């Protein structure tokens, strides 16, 4: 039986090797005779899983363990919308609004101080990445969302924010684009879109920023220092997701690192975008500027909602699932994350060609 072509936006496709390794660990973890979900998170066997995942991530991000800490927390990226300003917003912060998730982060920031809109693309329903900004040099931090799953836009280059600390929600393109990660004071990413199963959130935080600017008098579980000082083991971590995420990091290393992953993602996305661009009166790309197009979430519309439904249903019959656009915008969306194989991309492109010929 052939594997389904998985274009889900999240939870999403994982590397086959990672799925197999995780399945084996669920049954018998590291020769213990117990499943991964049954062993103590304080055991030396699981401690090695956590430490390896933290070290491997810093390695593939080209970050120094002397400068950055890696945390695995619960609560999803939505919890980070709250934790970032809880720890670092003393008076005011700048937010760049490029979609629903950026707006949610901005909303949480307003509970802790002044949240300024430094730039926004809401004027045209978030179909582009802003190119001009109004940054406050006295802001506690600048927050942006690097990829927008709903609207299909992505930051390819990061704006210059001067000496202000930069915070990024990278949930849906984490390790899919080779940024200079040293530019960031804090990065967070829900695992379930590009690096693992749901249940774990990665936080990479600059030690000096946390030490110098992190608030001290906040509740224990909301304080990043609680987790950095305890190696992400203050309370029971999401053990199974951490294992799978750690195996994904090793898979990325085997692919040649983030730079190699980026090149593959560029090539994969081009296959789909070329079909869209070949038939612009039929497949209507959602993103205004080509340079803003996401490599992770490719979005388009057809001429009628009925034709979109037909497209999605016929694709599903060909074992292509997850192509329905987000409920807030409709249309069609193909999520082509790191683990999505080129064979699935080629199958979708072939289907799009045939669907055009049969329905033009």
- State the catalytic residues: 101, 169, 193
Q: Is 157 exposed, middle or buried (0-12, 13-18, 19+ CB in 10 A)?
A: exposed
Residues 6 or more apart in contact with residue 301 via CB below 8 angstroms? 283, 284, 286, 308, 325, 330, 331, 332
DSSP annotation of 184: -
Confirm if 323 and 332 have CB atoms less than 8 A apart. yes
d(CA 42, CA 37): 13
User: Which residue's entry shows tokens 């909602």?
Assistant: 305
Contact by Cβ (8 Å): 258, 249? no
Q: What's the Cα-to-Cα distance from 65 to each of 62, 152, 263, rounded to whole Å?
A: 10, 33, 27
DSSP type of residue 324: B
β-bridge mates for residue 298, sequence order: 334
* Residue whose entry in the numeric block shows the structure tokens 């807030």: 328
How many separate helices (H) and strands (E) can be counted in the chain? 10, 14
Which of 336, 351, 346, 343 minimizes the C-alpha distance to 10?
336
Q: Taking the CA atoms of the chain, what radius of gyration do you get in angstroms? A: 21
Strand 297-301 and strand 114-120: the pairing is unpaired
Coil, strand or helix at 210:
helix
The phi, psi pair for 97, rounded to 5°, reads -100, 110
């Amino acid at each position: 039986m052939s594997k389904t072509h998985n274009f889900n936006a999240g939870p999403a496709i994982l590397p086959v090797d990672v799925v197999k390794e995780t399945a084996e660990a669920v049954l018998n973890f590291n020769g213990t005779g117990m499943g991964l979900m049954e062993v103590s998170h304080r055991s030396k066997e699981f401690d090695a899983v956590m430490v390896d995942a933290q070290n491997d991530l810093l390695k593939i991000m080209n970050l120094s363990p002397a400068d950055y800490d890696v945390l695995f927390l619960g609560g999803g990226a939505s919890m980070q919308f709250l934790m970032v300003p809880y720890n670092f917003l003393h008076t005011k912060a700048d937010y760049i609004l490029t979609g629903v998730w950026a707006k949610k982060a901005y909303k949480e920031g307003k509970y802790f101080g002044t949240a300024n809109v430094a730039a926004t693309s809401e004027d045209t329903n978030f179909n582009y990445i802003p190119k001009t900004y109004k940054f406050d040099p006295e802001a506690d931090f600048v927050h942006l969302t690097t990829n927008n799953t709903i609207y299909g836009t992505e930051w390819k280059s990061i704006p210059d924010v001067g000496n202000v600390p930069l915070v990024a929600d990278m949930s849906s393109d984490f390790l899919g684009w080779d940024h200079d990660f040293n530019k960031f004071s804090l990065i967070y990413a829900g695992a379930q879109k590009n690096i693992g199963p749901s249940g774990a959130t990665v936080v990479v935080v600059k030690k000096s920023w946390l030490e110098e600017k992190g608030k001290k008098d906040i509740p224990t579980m909301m304080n990043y220092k609680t987790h950095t000082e305890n190696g992400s083991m203050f309370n029971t971590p999401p053990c199974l997701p951490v294992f799978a995420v750690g195996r994904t990091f090793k898979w990325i290393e085997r692919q040649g690192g983030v730079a190699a992953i980026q090149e593959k993602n560029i090539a994969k996305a081009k296959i789909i975008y070329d079909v869209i661009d070949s038939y612009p009166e039929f497949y209507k790309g959602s993103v205004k500027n080509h340079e803003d197009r996401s490599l992770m979430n490719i979005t388009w519309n057809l001429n009628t909602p009925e034709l979109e439904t037909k497209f999605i249903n016929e694709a599903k019959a060909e074992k292509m699932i997850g192509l329905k656009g987000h409920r807030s915008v409709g249309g069609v969306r193909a999520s082509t994350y790191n683990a999505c194989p080129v064979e699935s991309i080629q199958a979708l492109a072939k289907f799009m060609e045939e669907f055009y010929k049969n329905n033009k």
